[in-house]
Amino acid sequence: ERTRVLVVGGGYGGATAAKYLRLFSGGKLDVVLVEPNDAFVSCPVSNLVLGGSKTLTDITTPYDTLAARHGVRIVKDTVASIDAAKKTATLASGPTIAWDKLVLSPGVDLMFDSIAGLRAAHTEGRILQAWKAGPETAALRRQLEAMPDGGVYAIVVPEAPYRCPPGPYERACQVAAYFKAAKPKSKVLILDANPDVTSKGPLFKKVWAESYPGMVEFRGQHKAASVDARSNTVKFEVQEDVKADVLNVLPPMRAGAIAVQAGLANMNQRWCGVNYQTFASTVAPDIHVLGDSIQIAPAMPKSGHMANNHAKVAAAAIVAQLAGWEINPAPMLTNTCYSFVDAKRVIHVASVHEYVAAEKTFKTVAGSGGVSTGPTELEGEYGWNWARTIWADMLS
């Protein structure tokens, strides 16, 4: 019997891991990927669907090639439970799959219950998040289209760390670009639990002042306590209530539900602690956790680019462990996050992170990375091609 690696979740971390486990093992490992969705829908660049310059079709890639070209066995299902001691996983549809190594990249769980009233408002489709790209992205776009000119769109941002630090501010730009063209009397409010803009602050503020004057307003230290979907109002712990026509309330986040249920979220009950050299869980050494679910080292964002890099480090470590080879003593990670400030212009932030064995953590390489000087259309080309290239790296 061949050694089996079970990969849970076909997103930025999981799909990359499945492909590279097959490549690095020369096709020797039996790699099974469990994912409930028919096709991969990208969160990166999904804000452009809200702005109206892209559609969901533009950001969707099928899973077929992973199976046909790379021999990954794809099971369309959800993993309902994991038994780390017995090394099995049980699917929602009933069957149990045995594994030698498990790779878990389930993304984030939105903690609806930490804001009173939000779970019901979300279930009824009144207050959306669209923080997992797909039908909800299209639904939020429809809410924006239905909003009258002169209306208010408000995005509520949780305390860091959360999925994609610049994501809420990119979204504010995209909604503003749409309003500027279609309903210019409208407003975009950013109600942020953090004191200031969490990522690329000076650049985003410059864009708001220069491209969307009087339209985008940022308010820090706004930690949401409850929502009332009937009156479309958010109540904050300290600040005054805010009423808006379209409310986009992002609750605090934690590791994907299956990681929490499996007892792997050992850092404040929220994130999964990992050995950064291999991404093995600090609770269960044969389970490797990737992407947004992990406890990150300082300055490492929860991004798709990072999840893709985690996956390659973990895949190489797993193949080395199973073959009895030395594990790479100093893995490196890179990150780039492009943000579209309108349909064409982009700003970016980049960094390089190096595993420092003596401290068992990743440290930002001195002098690496940086941020754009300003939005340009050339960076817009880089940004769109970054997306096309990473989708090909994961899925082609």
Shortest Å, Cβ 185 to ligand FAD = 26
Q: Which two tokens stand for residue 25?
A: 């093992």
Is 165 an interacting residue with respect to ligand FAD (CB under 6 A)? Answer: no
Q: Which is nearer to ligand FAD, 139 or 356 (CB)?
A: 139
Q: Which is nearer to ligand FAD, 157 or 215 (CB)?
A: 157
Comparing CA positions, the residue from 186, 244, 248 lying closest to residue 214 is 186
CB-based contact 273:266 (threshold 8 Å):
yes
Shortest Å, Cβ 330 to ligand FAD = 23
Length of the chain: 396
Shortest Å, Cβ 53 to ligand FAD = 15
Is 232 an interacting residue with respect to ligand FAD (CB under 6 A)? Answer: no
Contacting residue, 11, 51, 158, 161, with ligand FAD by CB under 6 A:
11
Q: Which two tokens stand for residue 194?
A: 């953090």
Q: Which is nearer to ligand FAD, 91 or 327 (CB)?
A: 91
Shortest Å, Cβ 265 to ligand FAD = 13
CA angle at residue 354 from 351 to 360, to 5 degrees? 135
CA distances 199 to 44, 85, 195, 369, Å, are 15, 40, 12, 14
Instruction: Please choose, out of 3-11, 18-26, 149-157, 342-350, the segment that lies near ligand FAD by the rule CB under 6 A.
Output: 3-11
Q: Which two tokens stand for residue 374?
A: 């300003």
Tally of CA atoms within 13 A in the half-sphere of 297 that contains its CB: 19
Kindly identify the residues of this chain, within the stretch 118-147, that bind ligand FAD according to CB under 6 A.
131
Query: Rounded distance, CA 197 to CA 207, Å?
Result: 13
Q: Counting beta carbons within 10 angstroms of the beta carbon of residue 366, is it exposed (0 to 12), middle (13 to 18) or buried (19 or more)?
A: exposed
To which H or E segment does residue 122 belong? helix 118-123
CA angle at residue 329 from 325 to 332, to 5 degrees? 120
Q: Which is nearer to ligand FAD, 32 or 233 (CB)?
A: 32
Q: What amino acid is encoded at 75 in this protein?
A: V
Is 261 an interacting residue with respect to ligand FAD (CB under 6 A)? Answer: no
> Which residue do the tokens 């409930």 mark?
36
Is 51 an interacting residue with respect to ligand FAD (CB under 6 A)? Answer: no
Residue nearest to ligand FAD (CB): 11
CA 24 to mean position of chain CA atoms: 25
CB-based contact 188:357 (threshold 8 Å):
no
Is 9 an interacting residue with respect to ligand FAD (CB under 6 A)? Answer: yes
Is 35 an interacting residue with respect to ligand FAD (CB under 6 A)? Answer: yes
Binding mask 297-336 for ligand FAD (x = CB under 6 A): -----xxxx-x-----------------------------
How many positions of this chain bind ligand FAD (CB under 6 A)? 36
Q: Which two tokens stand for residue 39?
A: 């096709």
Is 292 an interacting residue with respect to ligand FAD (CB under 6 A)? Answer: yes
Contacting residue, 5, 6, 8, 249, with ligand FAD by CB under 6 A:
8
Is 53 an interacting residue with respect to ligand FAD (CB under 6 A)? Answer: no
**Residue ranges in contact with ligand FAD by CB under 6 A:** 8-14, 34-37, 43-44, 46-47, 78-79, 105-107, 131, 163-164, 167, 256, 258, 291-293, 302-305, 307, 337-338
